[in-house]
C-alpha cells in the first residue's frame, strides 16, 4: 500500500535529518491515503512552522503524483524548487514537475500559483485532478488578492478613447462619481466606500458601449453585492482609483473544491471562519484530522489587570502611556507594542521616545538590545521572524478588524443581510486566529505578555482570547527583575 511504502521511506530519511516535529510519519500516511483513495481530506497542523510539513507532504507525492495539482504561493514554490526538491533528490527521491496553464502530458505534478489556479479552473482543465493546498488557512485570502483589480485614471482615458461617440456619457459619469466621492469626509485611510448601486450603474454604462477594453470587462462579470468596492483618494491632484475585491471568493469560484478531490492542509488550528466558508461551498471532507501541538508545560506570564479602561474612553490613551512606561522600565530585552490604530500608535510612540530616547522605534527590524518597537498587527505577523525573540509583548488593542476599512464594512454588511452574527461569525474569529502566531515568539523566549485593552476582562468574549493563550499564569503586579 502507498501509505506503508511512504511511511517506511520517510522513516529511513528521517534517520538522516535532525527534526523534533513528531508528526512527519503521521502526515505522510494521511497524504498517501488521500492520494491513493483520491478523496477530500482536511488536515490541521497545530503549531507547525512553515518548513516542518514539507517532508510529510512531498515523500508521498514522489511515489504517486498522477493527476495531482499542487497550489503554492510564489515564495513557497521557489522554496520547493530550490530547497525541497534538491534535498529529496539527494536522498534518492525523484519528482517530475510541470508548470504552465495547460495540463502536463505525463504523470508530473502540476505546479500552480493562485492566479494560475483560477485561469486553469475557468478553462476547465482541472476536471478530476486532485488539488493539494498546503496553505489552506490562507486560501480565501490568496484568492481574494489575485482576483482583486483596480480602475485608474489611465483606464478611464483608455475607455474614453475606445468609445469616441460615447465620450460625453463617460465623462459625465466620471465627473458625477468624482464629485460624490470627494464630498465624503476625509479619513486617515484615504478610502471611501462605493455603494453597490454605483457598480450597477457602471455596468449599465459599459453594456451600452461598443468597445470595453481591459480591465473594464472584469466589471461586467461581477455581482455587485458579492464584491467590496471603494475609492482610494489622492487629494493633492484631485484623483482617485476605484478598487474591487471579492468578499467570498470561494462562492464566486463555485465548484473549485467540490468538483474534484481536494487535500487541504492548514496551520491555523481551530478556525471557525474558515469552517463556515468551506461549508458554504459544500466542501465536506471524507477525512478530517488534527495533529495537535506538543503539550506546552511552561505557562506564559500574563499581565492583564481587571478594571482597565475601554478603548473608547477619554482616559485610554493616558492609560496606555502610563502602563507602557511601567512595563518598559528596567527591561533589558526587546519590547514589542502592538496597536492597529495608526494615530494612537504614533502618539504613543512619540511619547515613549520622549522618555526612553532612541530605544523606541516604529516598525523596525533592527532594534537595539533593549529596544521598544511599536507596530501594527500585520507588520508584526509578517516580520517577527526577522527580529530577535522579544522579552516582552504589549498588546495595546486586541486585533479586532476595524469597520473603517471599506472591505471589512462590506463583509459585515453581507453577513447582516444573511441574518448572521457579524461579530461572532467574522470579527471575533478573525482576531482570535492571529493570537497564537503573534504570541509565539515571546512564549518561546519565556517572556512576558501584557494586554492593556480593558475589553479583555469587561466583555464575555474576552474569555475566548484568554483560552487561546493557554497555558498562562497571571501577574498581579509589576515587580522589578
Segment 406-435, tens digit of pLDDT: 999 999 999 999 898 999 989 999 999 899
Tell me the percentage of the chain whose pLDDT exceeds 70.
Answer: 96
* CA torsion angle 6 266 378 392 (round to 10): -80
Average pLDDT of the segment spanning 33-57: 86
Q: Are strands 41-45 and 372-375 parallel, antiparallel or unpaired?
A: unpaired
Confidence check: pLDDT of 268 > 80: no
Mean pLDDT, rounded, of the chain: 91
Closest by alpha carbon to 239, among 148, 177, 149?
A: 177
For residues 233 and 118, membership in a common domain is answered with no
Is residue 81 in a domain? yes
What pLDDT score does 14 carry? 87
- Which of 273, 291, 309 is at the close of a domain? 291
Q: Does residue 479 fall inside a structural domain?
A: no
Residues 199 and 281 in one domain: no
Residue 280 lies in a domain: yes
Average pLDDT over residues 446-474: 95
Alpha-carbon distance of 259 to 130, in angstroms, equals: 10
Instruction: Tell me the average pLDDT across 443-471.
Output: 95
In whole angstroms, give the CA distance from residue 437 to residue 268: 9
Q: Is the domain of 323 the same as that of 383?
A: yes
Do 197 and 88 sit in the same domain of this protein?
A: no
**3-state class of 245 per DSSP?**
strand
Cell numbers at 349, concatenated:
510612540
Is the same domain home to 368 and 428? yes
Q: How many residues can be counted in the chain?
A: 481
Cβ neighbours, 10 Å, residue 100? 11
Non-local CB neighbours of 360 within 8 Å, separated by 6+ positions: 349, 352, 353, 371, 372, 374
Claim to verify: residue 443 and residue 348 sit in the same structural domain: yes
Mean pLDDT of 327-351: 95
CA distance 441 to 428: 22
**Terminal Cα distance for the chain, rounded:** 58
Give the contacts of 113 (CB within 8 A, at least 6 positions apart).
Answer: 71, 72, 73, 74, 77, 146
Please indicate, yes or no, whether residues 233 and 265 belong to a single structural domain of this protein.
no
The domain that holds 335 is classified in CATH as: 3.40.50.300
Structural domain includes residue 206:
yes
Same domain, 323 and 268: no
Residues 456 and 345 in one domain: yes
C-alpha grid cell, residue 48 = 507547525
Which residue range forms the structural domain that includes residue 220? 147-249
**Per-residue pLDDT, 51:** 74
**Which of 21-35, 237-251, 282-296, 439-453 has the weakest average pLDDT?**
282-296
Beta bridge partners of 234: 239
Alpha-carbon span 89 to 87, nearest angstrom: 6
Residue 480 lies in a domain: no
Total domain count, the chain: 3
Spell out the residues 6+ positions from residue 41 whose beta carbon is closer than 8 angstroms to its own: 30, 31, 33, 34, 262, 263, 264, 285, 286, 287, 288, 289
pLDDT digit string, tens, across residues 105-115: 988 999 999 99
Assess whether 272 and 333 both reside in one domain.
no
Beta bridge partners of 132: 70, 263
> Are 184 and 323 part of one and the same domain?
no
Ramachandran assignment for 357, one of left (phi > 0), alpha (psi -120 to 50 degrees), beta (any other)? left
Q: Do 205 and 345 sit in the same domain of this protein?
A: no
Amino acid at each position: 500500500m502507498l501509505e506503508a511504502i511512504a511511511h517506511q521511506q520517510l522513516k529511513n530519511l528521517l534517520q538522516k535529518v535532525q527534526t523534533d516535529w513528531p508528526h512527519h510519519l503521521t502526515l505522510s500516511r494521511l497524504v498517501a491515503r488521500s492520494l491513493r483513495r483520491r478523496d477530500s481530506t482536511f488536515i490541521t497542523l497545530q503549531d507547525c512552522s512553515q518548513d516542518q510539513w514539507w517532508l510529510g507532504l512531498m515523500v508521498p507525492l514522489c511515489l504517486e503524483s498522477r493527476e495531482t495539482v499542487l497550489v503554492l504561493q510564489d515564495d513557497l514554490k521557489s522554496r520547493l524548487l530550490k530547497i525541497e526538491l534538491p534535498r529529496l533528490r539527494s536522498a534518492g527521491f525523484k519528482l517530475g514537475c510541470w508548470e504552465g496553464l495547460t495540463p502536463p502530458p505525463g504523470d508530473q505534478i502540476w505546479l500552480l500559483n493562485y492566479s494560475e489556479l483560477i485561469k486553469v479552473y475557468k478553462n476547465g482543465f482541472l476536471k478530476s485532478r486532485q488539488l493539494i493546498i498546503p496553505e489552506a488557512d490562507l486560501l480565501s485570502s490568496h484568492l481574494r488578492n489575485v482576483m482583486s483589480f483596480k480602475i485608474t485614471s489611465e483606464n478611464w482615458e483608455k475607455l474614453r478613447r475606445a468609445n469616441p461617440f460615447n465620450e460625453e456619457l463617460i465623462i459625465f459619469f466620471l465627473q458625477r462619481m468624482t464629485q460624490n466621492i470627494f464630498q465624503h469626509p476625509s479619513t486617515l485611510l484615504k478610502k471611501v466606500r462605493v455603494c453597490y448601486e454605483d457598480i450597477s450603474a457602471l455596468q449599465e454604462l459599459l453594456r451600452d458601449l461598443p468597445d470595453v477594453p481591459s480591465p473594464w470587462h472584469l466589471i461586467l462579470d461581477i455581482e455587485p453585492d458579492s464584491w467590496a468596492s471603494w475609492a482610494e483618494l489622492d487629494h493633492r491632484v484631485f484623483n482617485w482609483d476605484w478598487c474591487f475585491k471579492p468578499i467570498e471568493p470561494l462562492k464566486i469560484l463555485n465548484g473549485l473544491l467540490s468538483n474534484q478531490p481536494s487535500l487541504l492542509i492548514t496551520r491555523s488550528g481551530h478556525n471557525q471562519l474558515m469552517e463556515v466558508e468551506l461549508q458554504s461551498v459544500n466542501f465536506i471532507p471524507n477525512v478530517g484530522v488534527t495533529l495537535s501541538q506538543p503539550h506546552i508545560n511552561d505557562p506564559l506570564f500574563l499581565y492583564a489587570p481587571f478594571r482597565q479602561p475601554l478603548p473608547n474612553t477619554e482616559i485610554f490613551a493616558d492609560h496606555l502611556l502610563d502602563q507602557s512606561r511601567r512595563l518598559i522600565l528596567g527591561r533589558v530585552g526587546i519590547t514589542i507594542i502592538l496597536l492597529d490604530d495608526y494615530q494612537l500608535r504614533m502618539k504613543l510612540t512619540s511619547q515613549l521616545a520622549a522618555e526612553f530616547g532612541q530605544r523606541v522605534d516604529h516598525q523596525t527590524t533592527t532594534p537595539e538590545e533593549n529596544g521598544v518597537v511599536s507596530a501594527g498587527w500585520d507588520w508584526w505577523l509578517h516580520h517577527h521572524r526577522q527580529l530577535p525573540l522579544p522579552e516582552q509583548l504589549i498588546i495595546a488593542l486586541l486585533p479586532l478588524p476595524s469597520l473603517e476599512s471599506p472591505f471589512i464594512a462590506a463583509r459585515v454588511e453581507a453577513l447582516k443581510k444573511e441574518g448572521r452574527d457579524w461579530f461572532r461569525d467574522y470579527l471575533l474569529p478573525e482576531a482570535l486566529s492571529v493570537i497564537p502566531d503573534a504570541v509565539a515568539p515571546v512564549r518561546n523566549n519565556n517572556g512576558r505578555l501584557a494586554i492593556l485593552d480593558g475589553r479583555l476582562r469587561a466583555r464575555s468574549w474576552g474569555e475566548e482570547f484568554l483560552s487561546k493563550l493557554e497555558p498562562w499564569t497571571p501577574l498581579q503586579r509589576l515587580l522589578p527583575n
